[in-house]
Amino acid sequence: MKNTKISNAGYRVLEILKELTKRPLSPDEMLRYLELSTNYLYRKELVLKYLNTLKLLNIDIDKIDGKYFIKRSIESIDFDKKDLSLMLFIRKYIDTIGHEGFKNNIEESLQIIERCFPKQILDCVRTNTIKPYVPKKSLSVKDENVKKFEKYCNDGLGLELKYKNYQLNNKNNLYKIVPLKVVYKKGKSVLIAYDPKDNDYKEFVLENITDVKQNPQKQIKGSPSSVLFKLKGRLAKSYMLKNGEILLETGDDFIVISNKNEDRELLIRRLLRYYDKCEILYPKICRERIIELINEMEAMYA
């Protein structure tokens, strides 16, 4: 008969180790975790005994603010000096970023990665022998108002934005939108928002937002409608789908693509770069807009 017996104490030690790889834990939290996962009550001394066991096997455990955490992963990854230099660069880069949530998440990820570096590589930081990677051109970040917009995104309330519109001789356009997230493009912070009126996503460069008012009501983010476009000839054969695009139809010499995620005005401009090998099929408003844009461009040289 198959032996399926296990050692309960051994299992509990493994469970503690598993949980410690996920988050720092105080002895009380470990106790609660064990009690919940096994339905038994234990004494606090037991947890300390288990921690001794882990330490005895050279598992690097430290304690900060009453919580134990795994200082080094039980298995290291073959990160090398180049990786270390890049990690130092990322730290330097995110230091210039004001978006707290993004910054904290990256720092947390780097801390996890750092704990998996081979010890001898990591020692290079202490001895100052590795410098942060230097890109060809320095990457500067401009995001003065980002904290305010990060909060707006977390609040999930509607916003009324005044946005500098270059097509209208720098006059302000008013938008009523649902803020979704702030991303970085070429070092500029850009708000991605849902526009219920046009039922699409829009991008707003934060430095061009001239005024903002938060509405007290919770706004529900809808599902934007798709823009369908057709690519012809060699472009149809070589086109690489962008994030969120779906290939709807493939013909002998054409493909039809659905795009939901891109700011429509930016999408229309991108599609213009495909010359006459691209045609917007749907919605009508986008077809009309591309023709209007061409007319406006032609008028500049009339």
Partner 1 sequence: MKPEREKRLAPDNNISKTGYRALFVLFKLMELPRTRDEILELFSKDPILKDDISKDTVTITINTLKKAGCLISRPSQRTLNRYVLKSHPFNLQFSLSNIEALQSLRESIVTFQDLYLLIYLNNFYIKAASLAPDEETKNLLIYKHPLAEINYDILNELVIYARIKKPVNICYDSPENKKENFDFIPEYLTFESEKLYVWGYSKKYNEFAYLRVDRIKSVNLITVYSASEKNIEFKKTVETVLYKLKGYSALMYSENKEETVKYEDKNSEYTLTISAEVSNKFNFFQRILSYGTDCLIISPESAKAELKEHLKNIKAGYENEKY
Q: Which of 25, 34, 50, 122 binds partner 1 (CB under 8 A)?
A: 50
Residues 145-164 that bind partner 1 (CB under 8 A): none
Q: With contacts defined by CB under 8 A, how many residues of the chain interact with partner 1?
A: 98
What's 46-91 look like in SS3? HHHHHHHHHHHCCCCEEEECCEEEECCCCCCCCCCHHHHHHHHHHH
How many whole angstroms separate alpha carbon 58 and alpha carbon 12? 18
Do the strands 254-259 and 209-218 form a parallel or antiparallel pair, or are they unpaired?
A: unpaired
Site string for partner 1, 65-94 (x = CB under 8 A): -----x--xxx-xxx--xx--xx--x---x
Task: Pick one of 205, 221, 225, 260: the residue that binds partner 1 (CB under 8 A).
Answer: 205
Q: Which of 38, 129, 167, 210 contacts partner 1 by CB under 8 A?
A: 167
Q: Is 173 among the residues that bind partner 1 (CB under 8 A)?
A: no
Angle at 40 between CA 35 and CA 43, to 5 degrees: 75
Q: Which two tokens stand for residue 135?
A: 């890109």
From 11-19, 28-36, 152-160, 218-226, span contacting partner 1 (CB under 8 A): 11-19
Longest dimension (CA), the chain: 91
Interface stretch with partner 1, choices 28-36, 48-56, 194-202, 217-225 (CB under 8 A) = 48-56
- By CB under 8 A, is residue 109 in contact with partner 1? yes
| Range in contact with partner 1 (rule: CB under 8 A) among 26-34, 109-117, 119-127, 244-252 | 109-117
The token pair at 159 is 């916003």
CB contact at 8 A, 174 and 161: yes
Taking CB under 8 A as the criterion, the residue among 1, 223, 252, 301 binding partner 1 is 301
* For partner 1, the closer CB: 55 or 151: 55
Residue 108 binds partner 1, judged by CB under 8 A: yes
Pick the binder of partner 1 from 1, 36, 56, 64 (CB under 8 A): 56
Is residue 216 within the footprint of partner 1 (CB under 8 A)? no
CA 85 to chain centre: 22
Instruction: Annotate 218-259 with DSSP letters as a single string.
Output: E-----PPPEEEEEEHHHHHH--PPTTEEEEEE-SSEEEEEE
Pairing of strands 171-185, 188-195: antiparallel
